[in-house]
Amino acid sequence: MAQDPVIRLRDVTKSYGKGDARTPVLRGVSFDVVPGEFLALVGQSGSGKSTLLNIIGGLDLADDGVIEVMGHDYDKTPERELAGLRNGPIGFVFQAFNLLDHLSCLNNVTLSSQFAKTAKSINERGMDALKRVGLADFANRRPSELSGGQKQRVAIARALFGSPRLLLCDEPTGNLDSETGREVIEFFQELNTRDKVTLMIVTHERRVSSVAKRVIAMKDGLIVESIDADHPGGPA
């Protein structure tokens, strides 16, 4: 039996600017992502891949087209419900880490639930997330005390805090050295195979796209190639 897609996109368009200065970024993007996929979006800077990721995550709005994520039609989903998706079923990991240095690693992880009444259980969940990325001993440290790889692991723990079924990552290894990047990629693979988390990663790095189960290449706001892992080669 065919699985319902986690992500369903049909003719998604997006432009920035107004009038004669209007610049199209997405020109009619359509594809599905099924549960458990590990998908890499590749392409040169300006190809539209990060914009598309932000639209899928509800961080940006499309001009036109169908965006359905986890059964939610974004055109018919209130912002409050979208915010709930972003704090739970959908997790985000960014190249820049986006950690707050005045907070401990644990508080960075639990920030989305910081004002909830059940602080004890929230901290326990935060510690569990830090344990999963091997940083339980760093819970009380500040981000400024960590290496780049450790900061990215805290960012991943923050994404895992809501027990996401879909993880959206924008150049997650872009600021990391080769060895640390390899460790992060291996952790993503483990999340995908062991925990069945669906992964969509925007990247320009071959070391990431080479381990994905499917690679979609974009150029000038269009999909120009889609290759499954069973086929040799593919865009980098």
Q: Quick one: average pLDDT of 45-65?
A: 94
Two tokens, residue 16: 């920035």
Calculate the dihedral angle through the C-alpha atoms of 163, 165, 171, 175, rounding to the nearest 10 degrees: 20
Confidence of residue 53 (pLDDT cuts 50, 70, 90): very high
Helical axes 119-132 vs 148-160, angle rounded to 10°: 130
- Decide if 151 is inside a domain: no
What pLDDT does 232 receive?
45
Q: pLDDT band at 73, cuts 50/70/90?
A: very high
Report the mean per-residue pLDDT for the chain. 89
As given in the structure block, the two tokens for residue 46 are 């300006």
CA pair distance 205, 191, nearest whole angstrom: 20
In a domain, 117, yes or no: no
What's the domain count of the chain?
A: 1
pLDDT of residue 112: 80
What is the CATH number for 4? 3.40.50.300
Closest to 66 (Cα-Cα) out of 111, 17, 32: 32
CB count within 10 Å of CB 186 equals 11
C-alpha closest to that of 58 among 24, 29, 87: 87
This model's pTM is above 0.85 = yes
Q: Is 24:11 a contact under the CB 8 Å cutoff? A: no
Average pLDDT over residues 146-168: 92
Q: Strand 23-33: give its sheet, edge to edge.
A: 23-33, 7-16, 64-69, 72-73
In a domain? residue 109: no
| Residue for token pair 């830090």 | 130
Q: 67 with 74: CB under 8 angstroms?
A: yes
pLDDT above 90 for 177: no
Q: Take residue 130 and report the two structure tokens written for it.
A: 């830090």
Classify residue 127 as exposed, middle or buried by CB count within 10 Å of its CB (0-12, 13-18, 19+): middle
Q: How confident is the model at residue 205 (pLDDT cuts 50, 70, 90)?
A: confident
| Six token digits for residue 93 | 């990991």
Q: Is residue 81 part of a domain?
A: yes
pLDDT in tens, 111-140: 887 655 455 588 999 999 999 999 999 999
State which residues form the domain around 207.
1-89+166-173+199-236
pLDDT at 235 over 70: no
Kindly state whether residue 211 falls inside one of the protein's structural domains.
yes
Give the tens place of pLDDT for each residue, 4-42.
899 999 999 999 998 888 899 999 999 999 999 999 999
- Please report whether residue 138 resides in a domain: no
Between 1 and 221, the more confident residue is: 221
Residue 9 forms part of a structural domain? yes
CA 165 to chain centroid: 11
In a domain, 193, yes or no: no
What does the pLDDT read at residue 135?
A: 94
